[in-house]
Amino acid sequence: MPQRAKKAGTAKIRSAAFRRIRADHSSELAEDYVELIADLIDEKGEARGSEVAMRLGVANATVVKTLKRLQDSGLVTQEPYRSIFLTGDGWKMAEDGRRKHKIVEGFLLALGISEETARIDSEGIEHHVSEETLRAMARFLARKGS
Amino acid sequence: MPQRAKKAGTAKIRSAAFRRIRADHSSELAEDYVELIADLIDEKGEARGSEVAMRLGVANATVVKTLKRLQDSGLVTQEPYRSIFLTGDGWKMAEDGRRKHKIVEGFLLALGISEETARIDSEGIEHHVSEETLRAMARFLARKGS
DNA sequence: ATGGAAGTTTAGCATTGGCTAAACCTATTG
DNA sequence: CAATAGGTTTAGCCAATGCTAAACTTCCAT
């Protein structure tokens, strides 16, 4: 029954895609946090929990809890009642996020999307694009931009 | 202090984007389920929970639990030990998902992405593209395709 | 008609990510 | 230098999404 075999193969690939999406989702929050923290440090010299909470649109307490997990993962460090710092790994992740973000947002703008929408959509999309797709977007951008 | 005012404004927009992403995530699972169920019904005449579990790459029990929620949301119906059906709303959501999926995947292919990657990335991206971006992708596709 | 294999569901647990309310520090200002 | 306002953390709750192991149905083959 080659039918069966073929279908099982397809199913496996499909499930791999969904697995990757679930994995992406766990890292997504972390990336958003570190990227935002990096922005705050660059913009204002320091990142406060309450500022992170405001920009992400969540409660203060949620940020505290999440930062604990990020600290356990070795992405940030923080003393109680003090501002937040990124570790080496944290900075690496933040830079990578910014890089992806810039490519995706620039690409959407090049496609003719409005600034508003480009900003919103790129925020959602950046965590789900493979390097291959990023390369294609960058290529498109380069051709268009020149 | 116009500085402050401007920054607060930006923050509000940013947080709106993140809020939307969080909202997208809740509907994302539902969309994946109904889309997959629709595919199974079309492909094999019926959708069994175990088949859904296999294709999504999750345990059977997880599917059972999620289907209960989807039933409460009025997207699917199911009798114990029987196969799964979509309600009118369920079909509507499935069709919408397929539509988005087709546009995004076609767009990625048109960009020169490999089939494998296009399938995987489109699965993740489809839930985060606005109608505006979809329209731009469709436009691009039409121009390219003709 | 029934016994057992295969398929489904239940039970119970863990983690993530959200919230509010209350407790707790810090730092400014009078 | 003390009071207090404002920022931060804790405590305790909830829902969603995942898992494994055990219980339970269904249905096919003898």
* A119 with B17: Cβ contact below 8 A: yes
Q: What is the mean pLDDT of residues B9-20?
A: 74
Q: How far is B77 from chain A (nearest CA, A)?
A: 23
pLDDT tops 70 at residue A130: yes
Tens digit of each residue's pLDDT (9 = 90 or more) over B28-67: 999 999 999 999 999 999 999 999 999 999 999 999 999 9
| Nearest residue of A to residue B105, measured between CA atoms | A133
Angle between helices A2-44 and A49-56 (to 10 degrees): 130
Domain segments of chain A: what residues?
Answer: 2-145
**pLDDT at residue A63 is higher than 50:** yes
Among the listed residues B100, B106, B93, the one whose alpha carbon sits nearest the alpha carbon of residue B129: B100
For domain A2-145, is the CATH number 3.40.718.10? Answer: no
pLDDT exceeds cutoff 70 at B2: no
Residue B86 pLDDT level (bands cut at 50, 70, 90): very high
Q: Say yes or no: A128 contacts chain B, CB-CB below 8 A.
A: yes
Q: CA–C1' distance A33–C14 (Å)? A: 24
Q: Which residue of B has its CA nearest to A36?
A: B14
Model confidence pLDDT, tens digit, residues A64-99: 999 999 999 999 999 999 999 999 999 999 999 999
CA angle B117-B122-B124, nearest 5°?
A: 105
- For every residue of A51-103, DSSP letters joined together read HHHHHHT--HHHHHHHHHHHHHTTSEEE-TTS-EEE-HHHHHHHHHHHHHHHH
